[in-house]
């Protein structure tokens, strides 16, 4: 991460620190029994490089602090930028509650849109694979017939995968804030959301981006991209 020009040019991260981070990542992969490769890139804007490189992948995983979406974009948070710009599913990795597994208490934030089905399918597959539970969170507000249909289809997909009906929790209050509060109260270990892949000014209303930036638990945001979603869902359940 190089910043500035001429005599003011300086490394924001530094090569030695970057190499140590990659070495730690390789060791963590070995400890988990996972084959891994690493690559060190040099660029003035690492966020864009990560997002562009991830276009050929099934999933982009980044660490993330808890802050507002606007603050994250202003400060240059790679995780919040990825939530805004990535074309593949994004996992914002945060610590789970002490002593719990990542897939122990999986929750789906359902908005009553078509993207809920992909989120429900992947969440259910992860819960089954991790021996965890699945909970549906949805904001309690007036719904039209399409919203009810999307919610019902997502629930049906989850039942087909898990073999049991997921717990359904109605969330009262302003959408993103209420979802974050309830997920925290219920000690979610992973929160999964669909995404309509909004851009420009429309993206300012994106629930997935705001929840991804503010939640205290890990957040997985699925993208409205059939090929990437299908590959990730298949690998999650395989």
User: Digits of tens for pLDDT over the chain (238 positions)?
Assistant: 666 666 666 666 778 888 999 999 999 999 999 999 999 888 778 888 889 999 989 999 988 765 554 544 444 478 888 888 888 999 999 988 777 899 999 999 887 777 788 899 999 999 999 999 999 998 766 566 787 888 889 999 999 999 999 999 988 877 788 888 999 999 999 999 987 554 443 433 467 778 888 888 999 999 865 544 444 455 555 4
DSSP three-state, residue 201: helix
- Give which of 163, 103, 164 is closest to 130, Cα–Cα: 103
Q: What is the pTM of this model?
A: 0.80
pLDDT at 1: 62
Q: Give the whole-angstrom CA distance, residue 188 versus residue 219.
A: 10
- Cβ–Cβ under 8 Å, residues 2 and 11: yes
- Give which of 90, 27, 44 is closest to 64, Cα–Cα: 90
- Give which of 115, 51, 82, 108 is closest to 209, Cα–Cα: 82
DSSP three-state, residue 169: strand
């Amino acid at each position: 991460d190089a910043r500035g020009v001429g005599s003011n040019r300086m490394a924001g991260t530094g090569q030695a620190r970057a190499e140590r981070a990659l070495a730690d990542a390789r060791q963590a992969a070995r400890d988990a029994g996972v084959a891994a490769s690493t690559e060190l890139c040099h660029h003035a804007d690492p966020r864009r490089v990560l997002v562009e490189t991830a276009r050929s992948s099934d999933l982009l995983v980044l660490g993330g602090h808890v802050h507002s979406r606007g603050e994250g974009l202003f400060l240059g948070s790679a995780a919040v930028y990825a939530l805004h710009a990535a074309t593949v599913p994004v996992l914002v990795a945060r610590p789970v509650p002490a002593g719990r597994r990542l897939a122990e208490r999986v929750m789906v934030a359902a908005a009553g849109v078509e993207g809920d089905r992909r989120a429900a399918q992947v969440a259910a597959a992860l819960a089954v694979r991790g021996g965890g539970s699945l909970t549906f969170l949805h904001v309690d507000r007036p719904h039209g017939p399409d919203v009810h249909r999307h919610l019902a289809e997502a629930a049906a997909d989850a039942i087909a995968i898990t073999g049991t009906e997921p717990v359904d929790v109605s969330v009262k209050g302003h959408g993103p804030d209420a979802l974050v509060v309830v997920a925290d109260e219920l000690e979610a270990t992973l929160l999964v959301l669909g995404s309509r892949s909004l851009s420009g000014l429309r993206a300012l209303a994106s629930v997935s981006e705001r929840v991804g930036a503010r939640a205290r638990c890990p957040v997985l945001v699925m993208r409205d991209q059939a090929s990437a979603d299908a590959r990730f869902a298949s690998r999650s359940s395989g």
